[in-house]
Chains A and B, each alone.
Chain A
Amino acid sequence: MINRRSIEVAVGLFIAAGLAALFMLAMKVSNISAFTEGNGYQLSARFENIGGLKVRSPVTMGGVRIGRVAAIEFDQNAYQAVVTLKISPQYDRIPKDSSASIYTSGLLGEQYVGLEPGADDAYMRDQDSISLTQSALVMERLISKFLFNQTVKENGGS
């Protein structure tokens, strides 16, 4: 029979190991910024089409991740998608006239919102909206546009 003290030490070590594992999962593995972003600020942007954008997709500026998509809604009056972006608080100098576009990382990669800085001296604040937006490129539309242009050219040429 193992004595009481070493049992207590072993249990203590076990609990410490378990908590350390949980801590590692939370800090090292997961996106803990989901919580630190909780005190960030929100911007909204309207798009004609968001393609495959999802909640929690990254928001980047110059390729650097500065926030994430917090919510996606559909505005029935304007027939537009309203995307709420949550930006980390340290990125507080985004010019007012910045534009937002939806890009795809790589050929099959996930979609994300890229912000292009404008030239305005005033900065975005909480609940502001981004007016300049560019929708996601939808493959079918791209192809049909291309084909349409081709036909117009052929018709004009003859």
Chain B
Amino acid sequence: MDWLQSLGRTGLILFERLGRGHLFLLRVFGGMSDTVLRPSLLIAQMYSIGVLSFTIIAISGLNVGMVLGLQMYNTLVDFGAEDSLGQVVALSLVRELGPVVAALLFAGRAGSALTAEIGLMKATEQLSGMEMMAVDPIKRVVAPRFLAGMLSMPLLAAIFSAVGILGGFFVGVGLLGVDSGAFWSQMQANVDLREDIVNGVIKSFVFGFVATWIAVYEGYDTVPTTEGVSRSTTRTVVHSAFAILALDFVLTALMFGGI
């Protein structure tokens, strides 16, 4: 019966965390209005979440686009369809790789930093001190970071896709000799604004929401010790990755059908 007991215990802990996480989200939404009224808090967080993630996102986007250009070219050229390279690269990036890879990188770069920052603030009693100064840390600390994460993610994903397409263009047209006109026209003929681009943006927005939520919650709910913070940081990256990949499947099925 031991395994049954531990299953039950694990289940209880899971539901407890799920419930706490959602209640936490409600409180964050409640504290959001203050952030909107104080843009300086938001700007500071946009800097540490968005701007500081820019480099890794841009470099990764460029690399993914270049690799995609090379790989797809090698496959397409067998069918004499290398003119479709632009379309293939753009669709892969805009629909899937842009939102998903950017979100995974975001969780690794910004999400873990958020958890560590908030967790350390808790461990060093800064959050508690704030409460004792009659300042709600949810409003001052969590809500601005949450909003900044939600706003940064779609921008980062768009940058990832755009840079990636340029990378694909560079490899395909610049190095492999695909016709530049065909590259862009095939892309434009087959990428739809609403169906592909807007859906991609929606995806990245959802991923940003979930990844930031997990990050700030893990930080706020951390066990306030050095070990607790490091565990929470790891959990942020792992849980965000799971959540992003699972949600990606659900969203893809909803948006592009097929099931």
- Interface set of A (CB-CB < 8 Å, partner B): 4, 7-8, 10-11, 13-15, 17-22, 24-26, 28-32, 34-35, 56, 58, 65, 108
Highest count of chain B CB atoms <10 Å: which of A10, A14, A30, A65: A30
Chain A residues lying within 8 Å of B189, measured Cβ to Cβ, are 31, 58, 65
Judge whether B188 and A29 touch: CB under 8 Å: yes
A sample of 10 cross-chain residue pairs with beta-carbon separation below 8 angstroms, ordered by A number, consists of A15-B50, A21-B161, A24-B162, A25-B161, A25-B200, A29-B197, A30-B192, A30-B193, A30-B197, A56-B192
Judge whether B192 and A7 touch: CB under 8 Å: no
Chain A residues lying within 8 Å of B163, measured Cβ to Cβ, are 21
Chain B residues lying within 8 Å of A11, measured Cβ to Cβ, are 43, 46-47, 50-51
| A11 to B44 CA separation, bound complex (whole angstroms) | 8
Judge whether B165 and A108 touch: CB under 8 Å: no
| A31 to B43 CA separation, bound complex (whole angstroms) | 34
| A13 to B184 CA separation, bound complex (whole angstroms) | 27
| A1 to B257 CA separation, bound complex (whole angstroms) | 49
Judge whether A29 and B158 touch: CB under 8 Å: no
Chain B residues lying within 8 Å of A32, measured Cβ to Cβ, are 193
Give chain B nearest CB distance to A158 CB in angstroms: 44
| A18 to B157 CA separation, bound complex (whole angstroms) | 8
Chain A residues lying within 8 Å of B155, measured Cβ to Cβ, are 14-15, 17-19, 21-22
Judge whether A31 and B192 touch: CB under 8 Å: yes
Total A-B pairs in contact (CB under 8 Å)? 90
Is B245 part of the binding interface, using a Cβ–Cβ cutoff of 8 Å? no
Partner of A10, one of B51, B79, B165, B201: B51
Question: In the complex, how many residues of chain B place their beta carbon closer than 8 angstroms to a beta carbon of chain A?
Answer: 34
Chain B residues lying within 8 Å of A28, measured Cβ to Cβ, are 184, 188
Judge whether A34 and B51 touch: CB under 8 Å: no
Known A-B contacts A7-B44, A15-B155, A25-B158; A34 and B192 likewise in contact (beta carbons under 8 Å): yes
Known A-B contacts A29-B188, A30-B188, A34-B192; A22 and B43 likewise in contact (beta carbons under 8 Å): no
Give chain B nearest CB distance to A153 CB in angstroms: 36
Judge whether A15 and B158 touch: CB under 8 Å: no
Is B159 part of the binding interface, using a Cβ–Cβ cutoff of 8 Å? yes
CB-defined interface of B17-45 with A at 8 Å, one 1/0 digit per residue? 00000000000000000000000100110
Chain B residues lying within 8 Å of A20, measured Cβ to Cβ, are 162
Judge whether B47 and A21 touch: CB under 8 Å: no
Give chain A nearest CB distance to B99 CB in angstroms: 12
Chain A residues lying within 8 Å of B161, measured Cβ to Cβ, are 21, 25
Highest count of chain B CB atoms <10 Å: which of A7, A20, A56: A7
| A19 to B152 CA separation, bound complex (whole angstroms) | 11
Judge whether A26 and B51 touch: CB under 8 Å: no
| A26 to B191 CA separation, bound complex (whole angstroms) | 9
Chain A residues lying within 8 Å of B167, measured Cβ to Cβ, are none
Judge whether B46 and A25 touch: CB under 8 Å: no
Judge whether B191 and A21 touch: CB under 8 Å: no
Chain B contacts with A in 176-203, Cβ cutoff 8 A? 184, 187-194, 196-197, 200-201
Chain A residues lying within 8 Å of B188, measured Cβ to Cβ, are 28-31
Is B64 part of the binding interface, using a Cβ–Cβ cutoff of 8 Å? no
Judge whether A25 and B162 touch: CB under 8 Å: yes
Chain A residues lying within 8 Å of B141, measured Cβ to Cβ, are none
Chain A residues lying within 8 Å of B165, measured Cβ to Cβ, are 24-25, 29
